[in-house]
Amino acid sequence: MPAVSKGDGMRGLAVFISDIRNCKSKEAEIKRINKELANIRSKFKGDKALDGYSKKKYVCKLLFIFLLGHDIDFGHMEAVNLLSSNKYTEKQIGYLFISVLVNSNSELIRLINNGIKNDLSSRNPTFMCLALHCIANVGSREMAEAFAGEIPRILVAGDTMDSVKQSAALCLLRLYKTSPDLVLMGEWTSRVVHLLNDQHMGVVTAAISLITCLSQKNPDEFKTCVSLAVSRLSRIVSSASTDLQDYTYYFVPAPWLSCKLLRLLQCYPPPEDGAVKGRLVECLETILNKAQEPPKSKKVQHSNAKNAILFEAIALIIHYDSEPNLLVRACNQLGQFLQHRETNLRYLALESMCTLASSEFSHEAVKTHIETVINALKTERDVSVRQRAADLLYAMCDRSNAKQIVAEMLSYLETADYSIREEMVLKVAILAEKYAVDYSWYVDTILNLIRIAGDYVSEEVWYRVIQIVINRDDVQGYAAKTVFEALQAPACHENMVKVGGYILGEFGNLIAGDPRSSPLVQFNLLHSKFHLCSVPTRALLLSAYIKFINLFPETKSTIQEVLRSDSQIRNSDVELQQRAVEYLKLSSIASTDVLATVLEEMPPFPERESSILAKLKKKKGPGAVSSTEQEDGKREGGELNGGGERGADSTIAASNASTPSPSADLLGLRSSGPVSAAPPSAGSLLVDVFSEAGPAAPAAAVNDDGFLSSAPPSVVSEDPAPPMPQSDELLHKFVCKSNGVLFENQLLQIGVKSEYRQNLGRMYLFYGNKTSVQFVSFSTSVTYTGELQSHIHELSLNVQTKPVEPLVEGGAQVQQVINIECLTDFSDAPLLNIKFRYGGALQNLTLKLPVTVNKFFQPTEMVSHDFFQRWKQLSQPQQEAQKIFKASHGMDKEVLKGKRIMENFVCAGVIQTKAQQVGCLLRLEPNAQAQMYRLTLRSSKDTVSKRLCDLLAEQF
């Protein structure tokens, strides 16, 4: 037991804490806490006014109870009283309680704001700092509304103390993050940028975080910070280790600030001004040189500080990706770190190298370290480091070293930590597919994968191997032979049985010539596993058996006997029973011809994005899949799958309504069993592998004349009607069109004209009365659907409508103007509700207003080099969205203005919203033969990529 502190007061608190510590059981602790809570509650409620000291003591106790994980639902009012006190200590604890315990929705915010306002105007720097801390830590919308105007003034005022300036900078940053619309820049932009030149390093430290964030959102307005940051950095880097006094940390001048400056520069492309660029390159070289100098201190803090700067410098070099000389030096430096005795450095080196591997200048240089990395994978004691090594191997893999890397990863898998096995399996599967030159190697690898780590092989992986085997004639025989051999192992994983069942059912005939794998031997082998398997696998095996009957008539009687046995035909599982019954009947009734047609070999699968890649993207956040790989993957995925698109999957999917099991589609037959009650989601169909929208056509039967026939006038309610079923279709008509007829039925025609400039749009709606009778009480309203309001207080669109005349004469047309301001990106369109009375009956219809995010596009001119550089920068998986789809209008149409490069179209543009500008890059690759398109969108915001991809894919 460590020495007990003497304390500087608050004995009650000390006693309470020690009581809690002495509690022998959880129950005793809870009891003691409840007692204390009751005590405090009664003290707070009591008639006797509490003095500041008691309040402080009780608030401290509440904080401690909160720390132990108990909800605190009172005491806030006392905390507010404390923070309004004139005593520093009371004020301090009051603010602390509020910052720790109040969430941003509290109703007390108004009272708190009042206290803050007083402190901000107090001119007492300590009080001002406390108030600013509180704003920054709570950061609610209400606080932003109250103080967003005040704080910039404090920040740039000449007479503000340095410590207050520091707090004000970070406070503003927090408000900008929570409510960017309230923090108006403009007049103070340049003064904030010039804080980089401030004499007080603490002010620079705080300001640089603010500037970095603002630059990310508004790069153009803050462009001037680049040259200031470079000169500041250069001054720090070239200063002697004693120049910066307090900011020198173990002989390294201002390490934290240097890192932040290098981070800021990563928001921008290399400086265009030659002098600035020269100075920066000089800095980077100095930093690289310093890494080679002997250390000035043996302390780990010294090397940490030095290397923190070095890693940021390397990150900047990689970001610029334009100085081959520096890139190679960076790579060599990281290579040294790979064998450093500090585990932290090895970890960081592996991580940085991952990004370096995707640069064309340094990819080869990274590859030279392959042995070291493999060694790290094998020998590192720390799983975090091993994981980084596995990531790097994945990133550095190309055709030349794929076999070696895959083999190493496979052998590592046998001993890998359970936590990373699934990811490793996905990576091996992807590499094997991507770099497969001969597909026998691919099949071997995947089967090995199942053998070694069967439990971690997700469905996507084994679906994928089957897709590929089905699509490649040349590997089918080999696959059949290999699975047959694999199944002979005494204990084999259920996933192996699944793959084996499927492949032998399809291609068992290819190895049936060999007496060692004659049809009956194959069947007996499969059936020997049957009893050990789960129901879905058994169902798959039954389907394989019926396929056997078609492939090998000589097995018919044996298989029929199996199907006829009680354990099948009377199986308690309805799915198995149904299959047994149906297959038995099918095999005995159908003629050979019918059987051969029904049980024909599966057609090739259409090309889609690799399901495994999609899964890895979902599983891993950024950095898991680098851009070049993705492109490669797809290019090769295309050739792998043979690009066939017979569209077989849709019929299969439809046929499965009654037999929802993984192997129903093995047969592709339209079974019409009586068990339609089986839940349709019970099994996952092979076709479901494709992550994009399923092939099933939307069932919504659209009635042509809109609401009239569907809703008799008498029951139309006053509430806005739900959007009409065809409103989505109507919306898609207007994605690339600004004028036209939005809607028409027997009564009403609605025309649209719209224009957009930057983040603003104006839309004219024309309501035409097609009848000869007047519409009365004509009114319209625009509402948002849920998604637009998903962030509390954060509207994506600001829509203003002008009211329309309530009377529309027969045959007349009224016009309505709608002003739209795009605040942030959005995916759902606003809803337009129209209500009027026609002959006394209320008409109520809701449409989607044709406002889509692409309307706020501004085209950008870009040379191809720039385009691809940016394309590469947007390499994180979630920044990309892709769709492959069939051309619906033929291939001659060029919808968007773009540059033609080789075989694909690219375009670039910026989505203008009030909050930020989102740069978007688009790539459209037509495949004239298959009449298919592949559309890829990349943007700095994942929701934007996704939405644009969805929208534009409908347009070709």
Partner 1 sequence: MIKAILIFNNHGKPRLIRFYQYFAEDMQQQIIRETFHLVSKRDDNVCNFLEGGSLIGGSDYKLIYRHYATLYFVFCVDSSESELGILDLIQKMYEKVCLSLQVFVETLDKCFENVCELDLIFHMDKVHYILQEVVMGGMVLETNMNEIVAQVELQNRMEKSEGGLSAAPARAVSAVKNMNLPEIPRNINIGDINIKVPSLSPF
Instruction: List 702's β-bridge partners, or say none.
Output: none
Half-sphere exposure of 492 (CA within 13 A, CB side): 25
Least CB distance to partner 1 at residue 384 (A): 5
502 annotated to bind ligand: no
**Closer CB to partner 1, 293 or 719, in the complex:** 293
Least CB distance to partner 1 at residue 81 (A): 4
**Closer CB to partner 1, 69 or 840, in the complex:** 69
**Closer CB to partner 1, 317 or 504, in the complex:** 317
**Closer CB to partner 1, 19 or 221, in the complex:** 19
53 annotated to bind ligand: yes
Least CB distance to partner 1 at residue 710 (A): 43
Q: How many Å apart are CA 396 and CA 356, to the nearest integer?
A: 9
**Closer CB to partner 1, 54 or 858, in the complex:** 54
Q: Which two tokens stand for residue 160?
A: 């503000």
Q: Which two tokens stand for residue 158?
A: 């000449």
12 annotated to bind ligand: yes
299 annotated to bind ligand: no
Least CB distance to partner 1 at residue 87 (A): 5
Least CB distance to partner 1 at residue 71 (A): 5
Least CB distance to partner 1 at residue 304 (A): 5
CB 413 within 8 A of CB 425: yes
Count Cβ neighbours within 10 Å for each residue of 183-196 and write b for 16 or more, e otherwise: bebeeebeebbebb
Q: Which two tokens stand for residue 504?
A: 């032998």
**Closer CB to partner 1, 14 or 535, in the complex:** 14
Q: How many Å apart are CA 62 and CA 70, to the nearest integer?
A: 9
Least CB distance to partner 1 at residue 229 (A): 16
Backbone angles phi, psi at 29, to 5 degrees: -65, -45
Least CB distance to partner 1 at residue 7 (A): 5
Least CB distance to partner 1 at residue 237 (A): 16
Residue 811, Ramachandran bin (φ over 0: left; ψ between -120 and 50: alpha; else beta): left
Q: Say how far residue 55 (Cα) sits from the centre of its chain.
A: 46
**Closer CB to partner 1, 345 or 765, in the complex:** 345
Q: How many Å apart are CA 264 and CA 261, to the nearest integer?
A: 5
Q: How many Å apart are CA 256 and CA 254, to the nearest integer?
A: 6
The burial class, CB within 10 Å (0-12 / 13-18 / 19+), for 126 is: middle
**Closer CB to partner 1, 426 or 492, in the complex:** 426
Q: How many Å apart are CA 378 and CA 397, to the nearest integer?
A: 17
**Any alpha helices (H) in 642-778, and if so which ranges?**
648-655, 664-667, 707-710, 727-733
**Closer CB to partner 1, 249 or 956, in the complex:** 249
DSSP classification of residue 157 = -
Least CB distance to partner 1 at residue 424 (A): 14
Q: Which two tokens stand for residue 480?
A: 């059949």
60 annotated to bind ligand: yes
**Closer CB to partner 1, 63 or 580, in the complex:** 63
Least CB distance to partner 1 at residue 416 (A): 15
237 annotated to bind ligand: no
Least CB distance to partner 1 at residue 617 (A): 12
Instruction: List 763's β-bridge partners, or say none.
Output: 754, 818
Q: How many Å apart are CA 313 and CA 536, to the nearest integer?
A: 54
**DSSP characters over 109-148:** HHHHHHHHHHHHTT--HHHHHHHHHHHHHH--HHHHHHHT
**Closer CB to partner 1, 391 or 609, in the complex:** 391
Least CB distance to partner 1 at residue 644 (A): 36
**Closer CB to partner 1, 352 or 543, in the complex:** 352
Residue type at position 258: S
524 contact partners, CB below 8 Å, separation of at least 6: none
CB 215 within 8 A of CB 225: yes
Question: Residue 879: how many CB atoms within 10 A of its CB?
Answer: 21
Instruction: List 934's β-bridge partners, or say none.
Output: 884, 925
11 annotated to bind ligand: yes
Q: What sign for the dihedral angle of Cα 668, 674, 677, 683? A: negative
Q: Say how far residue 823 (Cα) sits from the centre of its chain.
A: 21
**Closer CB to partner 1, 31 or 646, in the complex:** 31
123 annotated to bind ligand: no
- Residue found under tokens 């040259």: 227
CB 83 within 8 A of CB 94: yes
Residue 523, Ramachandran bin (φ over 0: left; ψ between -120 and 50: alpha; else beta): alpha
Q: Give me the count of residues in the chain.
A: 956
Q: Say how far residue 562 (Cα) sits from the centre of its chain.
A: 49
Q: How many Å apart are CA 872 and CA 627, to the nearest integer?
A: 6
57 annotated to bind ligand: yes
- Pick out the residues of the known binding site: 11-12, 43, 53, 57-61
